């Protein structure tokens, strides 16, 4: 069967209407009528082959929120009418050490990304959420709390879990000083989640215009990275930094903000390699790490946490017919803070 959607026919080409192939429901499948799909900057990076060679035609979208319209014969966890989401992956081997730990996004054998990849059969292309319907294995479907609108919940399936994972793994909470670098689609969720966890939150940005929004979102402090005096005064003031910036390469000024045993976690993906001085690590036993998106248990945990604390994304809803305009505005950082495609328009 096919369903209406939008696809990139080739690298750097505008998106255009496309009949998206979808399989019939298997025993363990869930059919979802997509209501909203978030636009992630990685959609653009992949469609324009800015990271690696891609598969075309490409239907992007891994921030999917909708309603169950059908279930396979063996599915017991979901029923028609349930509010659900799909994130960055739709399959993994299920048997390797990381999968057994519930860390499916780090599967060492085979991962089926939601788009720009292949299903677990290794040959059928995956197509993402820029469409009206999707079929997904039940294990990779997540329940969206009733307290969250589907529109503001959609970006949580990437932006939300991408920030929740490092904050949870490095135990952000009361008494922990957390810095969030960048206030965009990722960073704004980082501020919200870290503040809800009880951490002392500093938003670090090169733009003075982000200060008031940082406080509105829950930050306790604002640090202007272009102010050298302020950056020097903030030396060794943070325990954990989540770096969401995708245009940064030299990270030494930010490493110096970490206190003894502090950690910088990279979640933004610049096109070029990061550079830093080893002296900024050894002098305070600082660390650099990185995280991807979370596994199945942690993604549901994140959604439940966001539901409990009313943490939806700040969004601008837009119709499919304006998707190319939205992409250009994402590239120019002209959105607060996530575009969400409304499939009804």
What is the pLDDT averaged over residues 3-8? 97
- Cα–Cα distance measured from residue 131 to residue 320, given in angstroms and rounded to the nearest whole number: 9
Confidence label for 249 from pLDDT (cuts 50, 70 and 90) = confident
- Residue 114 structural domain: 2-158+294-342
Is the same domain home to 263 and 314?
Answer: no
**pLDDT by residue (tens digit) across 122-135?**
999 999 999 999 99
- pLDDT tops 80 at residue 271: no
Boundary (domain end) residue, out of 255, 275, 290? 290
Residues 85 and 175 in one domain: no
Same domain as 241, residue 191: yes
Q: What is the per-residue pLDDT for 246?
A: 80
Degrees to nearest 5, angle at CA 138 with 301 and 140: 50
Q: Is the model's pLDDT at 338 over the cut of 80?
A: yes
Which CATH number characterizes residue 14's domain? 3.90.180.10
Q: State the Cα–Cα distance between residues 217 and 24, nearest whole angstrom.
A: 42
Read out DSSP for 209-234?
A: GGHHHHHHHT-SEEEETT-HHHHHHT
Answer whether 0.85 is exceeded by the pTM: yes
Calculate what percentage of the chain has a pLDDT beyond 90.
94
Same domain, 172 and 140: no
Residue 272, pLDDT > 90, answer: no
Q: State the pLDDT at residue 344.
A: 87
Token representation of residue 48: 């324009």
Q: Based on the structure, what is the number of domains in the chain? A: 2
Q: For 53, phi and psi rounded to 5 degrees?
A: -65, 135
| 182 and 222 housed in the same domain | yes
> 149 and 66 in one domain?
yes
Do 245 and 266 sit in the same domain of this protein?
yes
């Amino acid at each position: 069967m096919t369903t209406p959607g939008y696809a990139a026919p080739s690298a750097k080409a505008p998106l255009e209407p496309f009949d998206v192939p979808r399989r019939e429901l298997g025993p363990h499948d869930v059919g979802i009528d997509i209501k909203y799909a978030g636009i992630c900057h990685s959609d653009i990076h992949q469609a324009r082959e800015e990271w690696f060679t891609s598969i075309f035609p490409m239907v992007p979208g891994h921030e999917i929120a909708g309603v169950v319209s059908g279930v396979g014969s063996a599915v017991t966890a979901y029923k028609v009418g349930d509010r659900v989401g799909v994130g960055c992956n739709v399959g993994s081997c299920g048997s390797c050490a990381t999968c057994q730990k519930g860390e499916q996004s780090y599967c060492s054998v085979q991962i089926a990304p939601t788009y720009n990849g292949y299903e677990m059969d290794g040959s059928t292309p995956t197509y993402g959420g820029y469409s009206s319907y999707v079929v997904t294995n039940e294990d990779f479907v997540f329940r969206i709390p009733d307290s969250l609108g589907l529109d503001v919940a959609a970006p949580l399936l990437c932006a939300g879990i991408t920030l929740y994972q490092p904050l949870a793994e490095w135990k952000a909470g009361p008494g922990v000083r957390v810095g969030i670098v960048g206030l965009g689609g990722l960073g704004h969720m980082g501020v919200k989640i870290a503040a809800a966890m009880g951490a002392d939150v500093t938003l670090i940005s090169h733009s003075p215009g982000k200060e008031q929004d940082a406080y509105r979102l829950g930050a306790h402090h604002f640090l202007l990275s272009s102010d050298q005096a302020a950056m020097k005064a903030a030396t060794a003031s943070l325990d954990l930094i989540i770096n969401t910036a995708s245009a940064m390469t030299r990270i030494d000024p930010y490493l110096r903000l970490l206190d003894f045993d502090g950690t910088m976690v990279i979640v933004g993906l610049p096109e070029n390699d990061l550079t830093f001085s080893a002296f900024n690590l050894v002098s305070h036993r600082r660390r650099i790490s990185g995280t991807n998106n979370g596994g199945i248990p942690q993604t549901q945990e994140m959604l439940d946490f966001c539901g409990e604390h009313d943490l939806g994304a700040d969004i601008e809803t837009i119709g499919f017919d304006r998707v190319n305009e939205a992409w250009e505005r994402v590239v120019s950082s002209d959105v607060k803070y996530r575009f969400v495609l409304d499939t009804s328009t």
